[in-house]
Amino acid sequence: MQWGDEGKGKIVDILTPRHDAVVRFNGGANAGHTVVAGGQRFAMHLLPSGILTPDTLSVIGNGVVVDPAQLLKELAAVSEHDAAATSRLRISSRAHVVMPWHKDSDRALETFLSGQAQDRKIGTTGRGIGPCYADRAGRATAIRMGDLLEPEALRESVTMIAALKTAQIGALDAQNPPYDPAAVLTEYLGYGEQLRDCITDTTYLLHDLDREGKRLLLEGANAALLDVDHGTFPYVTSSNSSALGIPAGTGLPPPGRRSGDRRGQGLRHPGRVRPLPHRAGQRDRQRPSREGARIRHHDRPASPLRLARPGGSALFHDAERRLERRTHALRRPRGP
């Protein structure tokens, strides 16, 4: 697929009955897949196109940025056709949330860029996808789906972020009203409650399905030439929409490296030499407890033995052989 509009949604819908799960791995509500079922047209922006297929699980992976209001709107439309659709949906607790300031930032930046001597606007949908991915990379101002289930942690984050975004976006658009943290908190906690039963650790879920030999269909939101790294930059989307986005957007190993071809060295520390601080718990980041800080349920590091290892077992076997040869070379007696 190139830029889209070639019927990706229809193809996914046709292939879905042959699979046990359909997994969205990138993008957000900027995508649009149209599916016709029972003579009725459904526009899927966030829901996997296979949501209308009974007995098939639909998964929104960690690489997707989720607009909860849009997702609930789609679920309501689909549920009128199939009341059990929501029970087949799983949403990654690690997926990032599109907040009101992301949409405002998207529109304000496009307006600013279009007013330059040379029109430099990207032509976004204005749905906050790029700014949400930017906050994901920035980390401190990011909110994930799992956060919507933790009122105290969400309150702390929203209060800080709302003040910052009011200042940042106000610099681009003086007419943009300040954000009310209490209103935003109430709205998004409500979304979390409505989606509570769907939010889970999809990385572990997908690894379990893969280990059981289930057939997984990976669905991208956009076509290959919109890939942020390998597409027609800068007129691309904000994520890896090609097959390269599958491992990062789902936690699954690359194709051809699954089910038995995953071997690696387990590490005691999950990528750091000190315990991870917890936003709502341990506040003293300079003096972490000996036992380590608590980690929210959606922050637990995935086991290195379960994650993708590019090259699979062959990579580690090659490394072992190289290390063995080097060790033998060092042990050789030197001449006089």
Residue spans of the domains in the chain: they are 96-194
Burial class of residue 323 in the structure, from the number of CB atoms within 10 Å of its CB (0-12 exposed, 13-18 middle, 19+ buried):
exposed
pLDDT, residue 281, reads 45
Lowest mean pLDDT among 36-40, 71-75, 271-275: 271-275
pLDDT band at residue 144, thresholds of 50, 70 and 90? very high
* Average pLDDT rounded to a whole number, residues 215-241: 89
Answer for the pair 67, 133: CB distance below 8 angstroms, yes or no.
Answer: no
**Spatial distance between the Cα atoms of 255 and 236, rounded to a whole number of angstroms:** 24
Q: Find, among 140, 187, 127, the residue nearest to 168 by Cα.
A: 140
Fold entry, domain 96-194: Adenylosuccinate Synthetase, subunit A; domain 2 (1.10.300)
Assess whether pLDDT exceeds 70 at residue 41.
Answer: yes
Give the C-alpha distances (Å, rounded to integers) separating 257 from 254, 314, 320: 6, 10, 19
At 42, which helix (H) or strand (E)? strand 40-44
pLDDT band at residue 2, thresholds of 50, 70 and 90? very low
Answer for the pair 188, 97: CB distance below 8 angstroms, yes or no.
Answer: yes
In this structure, what token pair is assigned to residue 255? 């194709």
The pTM score is: 0.78
Q: Find, among 65, 71, 72, the residue nearest to 94 by Cα.
A: 65
pLDDT, residue 336, reads 52
Catalytic site includes residue 33: yes
Name which residue leads in pLDDT, 48 or 98. 98
DSSP 301: P
Name which residue leads in pLDDT, 326 or 213. 213
Mean pLDDT computed over every residue of the chain: 80
Identify any residues that bridge with 24 across adjacent strands, giving them in sequence order: 60, 219
Q: Which of 13, 19, 33, 67 is catalytic?
A: 33
pLDDT band at residue 124, thresholds of 50, 70 and 90? confident
> Residue 264 corresponds to which amino acid?
G
* Average pLDDT rounded to a whole number, residues 258-287: 42
Highest mean pLDDT among 112-116, 168-172, 308-312: 168-172
DSSP 144: B
**Spatial distance between the Cα atoms of 205 and 211, rounded to a whole number of angstroms:** 10
Percent of the chain with pLDDT over 90: 51
Sheet holding 199-200, edge to edge: 199-200, 89-92, 57-60, 21-24, 216-219
Lowest mean pLDDT among 120-129, 203-212, 243-252, 297-306: 297-306
pLDDT band at residue 212, thresholds of 50, 70 and 90? very high
In this structure, what token pair is assigned to residue 86? 């929501």
Peptide bond into 234 cis (omega under 30): yes
Please, how many CA atoms are within 13 Å of residue 18, restricted to the half-sphere of its CB? 7
187-208 confidence digits (pLDDT tens) = 999 999 999 999 999 999 999 9
